[in-house]
Structure 1
């Protein structure tokens, strides 16, 4: 069994089918016979094939990832927010990429800038300060500012977090 990642091109070679046929089989396209799909999927499983998320994201123009930037994960209100954001995002088929700004506006802005590379579908910036969206001008994806502080109840933090997530998902 091969331990390193195998590509569609390598699966094509191993199976004797074209790259296009392998791709269609792995994506359950009905134009590929059931027998061919099963053969290719068996080889893919044998060689531990894992789809390249970056390639899928390029094709679909959707990454399935949302970045969350918090000032300090050790502060309860931020960890509650992050926890609720993650479970909520997962229920929509998204994953969370988590960053800490350590209360630095510069680090926060650097995170937003570095994430402008198309690797995410949106950003939620969690902060105890009220900020304006104009600080994060970006047309590539939605950016939501989530104001959370220790005076809020867990239920209120959860509600605000969920609303922010929905706003990002709406685009």
Structure 2
């Protein structure tokens, strides 16, 4: 017998009991005595027994696994959401399989397929920026497997979702910039198949409209919202000679790129150009000056997403009736949007 390849039959043979008794002991069956359970667990440890989750799932119909698909796990927002999901999942005795799509449509499809093959009991996902077709998620629904989306969602799927009020967050940022005297506010956005970017653009537009400031399409820059994209977008605006007095980016990373370019070109922040992002990534509080941003309530979002998932899994909610939970964002005002250093500390607007 190779190390790590022990089966319940090996344990049964060593203890001179049946394989079914070993299986029940490992699953804490009430009919098995505590003494037998202790013997089985001790022998399982000695033999380096590893349970076959897929085989167990086939027998019981439950794998106790949740597949979580995120665009990338190295962002504070997504890692914090996963932490919130795990907090709830662990309470239910579930483990989380985390998969990254890297914003790649094909990888997202393959990831969902792999999770289905692993017999997960359900999937929680945030859609990649480059995803424009959703057949892979429809396949999950067609199989009757619970699917919950968070943050990045789409109107093309009738599923339960947990989001923040992206429209409100963007409106608050834009209105704050206007009240600081800004009238030429550049907006960085991304492909509009993803709801969050469409809603943030709408919040930006409505704030301008409500304050009688004309919308100028030349101030809109669309990209994948990475740091390098923010640099390119900022260079495009400057090279075209477009007048601006602020940048509101739907991504903290892209606004960081804009800050780099503005500093390289000799612009003073916030005296000449104010900067605001979205996401409250940790680095935004350490830049010079610190960047105004919107907090997305990542850990509460993860917990509520997991709670929604288990309500579907346990039949407390009808999987065919989508449930949408909208969390309220918080605007965190920092020095990147405070002229003349009027404030010496962060201001949070709930």
- Indicate if the aligned counterparts of 2:123 and 2:147 stay in contact, CA closer than 8 A: yes
Quick one: structure 1 residues 33 and 25, their matched pair in 2 at CA, closer, same or farther if it must change by over 3 Å? Answer: same
Instruction: Report the equivalent of 2:23.
Output: 23
C-alpha separation in 2, matches of 1:83 and 1:34: 34
The answer to whether the 8 Å contact 1:131/1:145 transfers is no
Shift of 1:74: 2.6
In the alignment, structure 1 residue 161 sits paired with structure 2 residue 302: yes
Larger relative contact order (C-alpha < 8 A, sep ≥ 6)?
1
**Partner in structure 1 of residue 148 of structure 2:** 144
Larger-gyration structure (1/2): 2
Structure-1 separation of matches of 2:96 and 2:21: 33
- TM-score when normalising by structure 1: 0.76
Q: How many pairs align?
A: 170
**1:109 aligned residue:** 109
RMSD: 3.2
* 5+ long unaligned stretches in structure 1: none
**Contact 1:77–1:154 under 8 Å retained in 2:** no
Deviations 1:6-39 (A, max 9, x none): 2111122222223233334444545556665555
Please identify, of 41-50 and 5-14, the stretch whose mean Cα deviation from structure 2 is larger: 41-50
| Structure 2: runs of 5 or more not aligned | 153-195, 197-250, 252-277, 280-293, 314-350
Deviation at 1:106, TM superposition (A): 2.4
Query: TM-score by structure 2 length?
Result: 0.41
Q: Could you say if the C-alpha distance between residues 155 and 90 of structure 1 is closer, same or farther in structure 2, counting changes exceeding 3 Å?
A: farther
From the superposition, tell whether residues 113 and 52 of structure 1 become closer, same or farther in structure 2 (CA, over 3 Å): closer
| Matching residue of 2:7 | 7
1:24-70, Cα deviation, whole Å (9 max, x unpaired): 44445455566655554544444343433223222221111111111
